[in-house]
Amino acid sequence: MIYKYNSFAGSVLAVLLMPVTVLYYLVVMIRHLSYDTGLFSSYRSKTFTVSVGNIAAGGTGKTPVVTAITEALKQNGRKTAVITRGYGRNSKGRVIVDKNTSAAVSGDEPLTIFNKTGSSVICDADRSGAVKEFESGYDAFVLDDAFQHRKIQKHLNIVLIDHDRFLGNRLLLPSGILRDPPSRLKKCDLIILTKIPDPENDSVQKKIGVLKRYGKPVVLSQIRYTKISNGTSEAPVEDLRNKRISAFCGIAEPEPFFKFFNGLDLVKKIRFKDHCRYGMEFESVLQEMKSGSDIIITTYKDHVKLTEDQIIRYNVWYLDIDLVFLDESLKIINTFDLIKGWIRAEK
């Protein structure tokens, strides 16, 4: 079995939660059936619409993929808007992100996408309403975390499966990690196995074999750390070799981030919950990390939530990444080449 529980207690808890899991499964399947039979209606825009989603709860690496696809569309002449719910924001209604928007208002992921791409980012729980209102002004929409959002029919449905957690124990929440049963993968157009280690690793090839059973093309993605930045200056990651480092992050799956520091002088690491809001009490945490290290490293998603004063006073930098896509033969794929077939099919 690919997935194993970390503890006996975890296995027992999964069994105890099975009644809730069965109820959740029934609700999910009835909802899908209602859309599949036409009982619930969905809207298909004339504007090319691509969804980047998952069937697991959090941590599959959606934000880097959304960013890469948005940038690829932009670089190929498509005026593109990202539409997202804006999870973790303290605002209500619709927010259109701009250079003055804070992470608290938009959420950390929407602000990250906006800063990285310069494309429009619209935060709205009513994503179908946003599509209908803005479709005349854009050539493409990228929907963040929308595989389960059945109110919109997508021209391209991409589902991400992360390498480490994979399909878990193949059970739905709360006994497992899945929001949808694995059989729903047959309803997507493209599967991306994310956060892979060495592409030639046996586990990667085994997981490709499992995913191919669902009859969809499978692509790999790998995060490569290229440089560090404090927002104004950049340096190669090699500059960290002779420094004492403190690292923190508030992301769903932090282990790949912390694994980067293996072999470096990591004196302190702190994990916060995903989408954590860093309030005034965070000052003492920064002071503690700064006192024992030469530099503090975090993720870009966390960096955007810090004030300029905090970044300067505590010497906080972020690890910048490149996202590389590979086909099954481990050949690098251009991001636009990954999606252009579906764009042409809609013309």
Confidence band (pLDDT; 50, 70, 90) for 245? very high
pLDDT tens digit sequence for 151-166: 999 999 999 999 999 9
pLDDT tens digit sequence for 164-184: 999 999 999 999 999 999 999
Q: Does the pLDDT of residue 64 top 90, yes or no?
A: yes
pLDDT tens digit sequence for 277-307: 887 789 999 999 999 899 999 999 999 999 9
Residue 323 to residue 317: CA distance in whole angstroms: 19
DSSP sequence for 155-219:
SEEEEEEETTTTTTTSPBTTTSSBSS-GGGGGGSSEEEEES-SSTT-HHHHHHHHHHHTTSS-EE
Q: What is the mean pLDDT of residues 78-90?
A: 95
Q: What is the mean pLDDT of residues 96-124?
A: 97
Q: Does the pLDDT of residue 346 top 80, yes or no?
A: no
Q: Which amino acid, 100?
A: N
Question: pLDDT value at position 347?
Answer: 60
Question: pLDDT value at position 170?
Answer: 95
Q: Does the pLDDT of residue 70 top 60, yes or no?
A: yes
Question: pLDDT value at position 58?
Answer: 85
Q: What is the mean pLDDT of residues 107-125?
A: 97
Full-model pTM: 0.94
DSSP alpha helices (H): ranges in the chain?
Answer: 8-16, 18-36, 62-75, 103-106, 108-117, 127-134, 202-212, 255-259, 282-291, 300-303, 308-313, 335-345
Q: Does the pLDDT of residue 57 top 70, yes or no?
A: yes
Question: pLDDT value at position 281?
Answer: 80
**Mean pLDDT score across all residues of the chain:** 94
Confidence band (pLDDT; 50, 70, 90) for 59? confident
